[in-house]
Amino acid sequence: AQSVSQHNHHVILSEAASLELGCNYSYGGTVNLFWYVQYPGQHLQLLLKYFSGDPLVKGIKGFEAEFIKSKFSFNLRKPSVQWSDTAEYFCAGKVGSQGNLIFGKGTKLSVKP
């Protein structure tokens, strides 16, 4: 079955630490992958997306993700987190022909000041 999985449920970091959140997908064909972020009390917003081309994708707020086809992975990274990065992060992949996305279960990131 098509799925997107996120390895970590809750990650706690101190400010300035580096971040890597794992995401794996399990479907074939054309791969369109997304990372969304939900700050406390706010709506989901897009961080970055991969459709094709350069597997290293840069997004907003200093985030980046690398698509590694051989590992079916699309991990999110940030070299130095800030307290304001505290949020829940969702990885998603497009499936089907009508633009449906499958979402992972989310990773909560808590950054200690």
The residues that touch another protein, with contacts defined as CB under 8 A, are: 9, 32, 34, 36, 42-46, 49, 51, 90, 94, 98-101, 103-106
| Minimum gap (Å) between residue 36 Cβ and another protein | 8
C-beta of 42 vs 70, nearer to another protein: 42
Distances in Å between the alpha carbon of 44 and those of 10, 30, 36, 41, 88?
18, 24, 6, 10, 9
Nearer to another protein, 17 or 108 (CB): 108
Q: Which CA distances in Å does 97 have to 15, 27, 29, 100?
A: 41, 14, 12, 7
Closer residue to another protein (CB): 17 or 32:
32
